[in-house]
Amino acid sequence: MRNIVKKIFYRETNIALLFLAPSLVGFALFYLLPFVAGFYYSLMDSPIQGSFVGLANYRELLQSDSFRLAAQNTGLFTVMGVPLVMAISLALALMLNRALPLRNWLRATYVMPLVVPVASIVLVWQLLFDRSGAVNALWTLWGGESADWMNSPWARVVVLLVYLWKTIGYNMILFLAGLQNIPKDYYEAAALDGAGPFRQLWSITLVYLTPTTFFVAIMSIISSFKVFRETYLIAGDYPHESIYFLQHYMNNMFQALDYQKLTSASFLMAVAIILVVVILFRFERKFHGSVS
């Protein structure tokens, strides 16, 4: 009997590996090997016939004012954007989880940014926040002075709005899926015990949304690092210093053929994201265990 079970297990394992092989090969070829090669080059003084210099590139990178500015802006944007997008997404999900008029149309409206091409997104935001755009037209109509939004500290607010606009719909779908998996019996029992809406939200909804919340947090953090694409298309290579992100720095190092700083910066950013994700997973496990 044991031999039969082993044969079945090995056969199913081989079949699973066979189906996974194309994805594993693609991941190793296009992600894992370049990542390892990048880390190797970050320890060399030249990508071609270079010599080993250890952490010298990292020390030089950390002493760079432009890198520190990019890292500070990226961290600040993540700290500002992620809690805000999660709060708004959860509020919209709670609203659309109720029986509202045109609920399906509203859901589709919030998901539309996911299917709009990036070029169209950039064009719309340029028309809005250009010096001769729609926002300035309304602002001057109300008696204000025309402002160059993307060349002022307001640029961070503009990029934050773009991030919220394109991320809220996806997070809202995840929260809606989590809300619909909560049994309604819990709310009925809580109502019979005299629990009000706020108590039900705090003790039932948020507790059972814990796995979804942490997944949304991870996806939102990753999305905050990917806002460079829209920022680059709107503001160019060297935007206002308030929206000069790590991706701008790495893109400029690539254009300057400074592969040592490029690979060192990319590895540090990857390590930072991995550490944040690991901390979130450990916190989620402890929190879920304490709640259980």
Q: Does domain 65-291 have CATH number 3.30.300.30?
A: no
Residue bearing the bigger pLDDT, 286 or 105: 286
Q: What is the pLDDT of residue 247?
A: 87
Q: What is the pLDDT of residue 288?
A: 67
Q: Which of 83-92, 109-118, 162-171, 248-257 has the lowest mean pLDDT?
A: 109-118
pLDDT band at residue 82 using 50, 70 and 90 as cut-offs: very high
Average pLDDT of the segment spanning 137-147? 75
pLDDT band for position 9 (50/70/90)? low
Residue 85 clears pLDDT 90, i.e. is over it: yes
Residue 76: predicted pLDDT: 92
* pLDDT score recorded for residue 80: 92
Residue 205 has pLDDT above 80, yes or no: yes
* Percent of residues, the chain, with pLDDT higher than 70: 88
What's the mean pLDDT in 68-78? 92
pLDDT in the model for residue 104? 67
* CA distance readout (Å), 100 to 8, 184, 209: 51, 18, 22
Q: Is the pLDDT of residue 142 over 60?
A: yes
Which tokens hold the place of 19?
């189906």
Packing angle between helix 134-141 and helix 118-129, nearest 10 degrees? Answer: 20
CA distance 275 to 238: 29
The Cβ of residue 220 has, within 10 Å, a number of other Cβ atoms equal to 23
- How many CB atoms sit inside 10 A of residue 16's CB? 10
Q: What are all long-range contacts of 264-269, with beta carbons under 8 Å and residues at least 24 apart? A: 264/42, 264/57, 264/58, 264/61, 265/61, 265/67, 266/38, 267/38, 267/39, 267/42, 268/58, 268/61, 269/74, 269/225
Tell me the whole-structure pTM to 2 decimals. Answer: 0.81
The pLDDT value given to residue 240: 84
Q: According to the model, what pLDDT value does residue 87 have?
A: 93
Taking only the tens place, the pLDDT of each residue in 238-267 is 788 888 998 888 888 888 888 888 888 988
Burial classification of residue 161, based on how many CB atoms lie within 10 Å of its CB (0-12 exposed, 13-18 middle, 19 or more buried): middle
The pLDDT of residue 28 is 87
167-178 mean pLDDT: 88
Q: How confident is the model at residue 7 (pLDDT cuts 50, 70, 90)?
A: low
Asked if 170 and 215 touch (Cβ cutoff 8 Å), the reply is no
Percentage of residues of the chain with pLDDT beyond 90: 9
pLDDT of residue 190: 80
Is 80 exceeded by the pLDDT of residue 36? yes
Average pLDDT, the chain: 82
**234: number of Cβ within 10 Å:** 22
Domain boundaries, the chain: 1-35, 65-291
Is 57 exposed, middle or buried (CB count within 10 Å of its CB: 0-12, 13-18, 19+)?
buried
For residue 208 the two structure tokens come to 């059972």
How many whole angstroms from its chain centre is CA 12? 36
Identify the CA nearest to 190 among candidates 202, 178, 181: 202
Give first-to-last CA distance, the chain, whole Å: 38
pLDDT in tens, 260-290: 888 889 888 888 888 888 888 888 777 766 6
φ, ψ (nearest 5 deg) of residue 44: -110, 160
pLDDT at residue 176, rounded to an integer = 87
Confidence bin at 79 (pLDDT 50/70/90): very high
Most confident among 8-22, 36-50, 85-99 (mean pLDDT): 85-99
Q: Tokens in use for 116?
A: 């709009």
Q: What distance in Å separates the CA atoms of residue 47 and residue 261, rounded to the nearest whole number?
A: 11
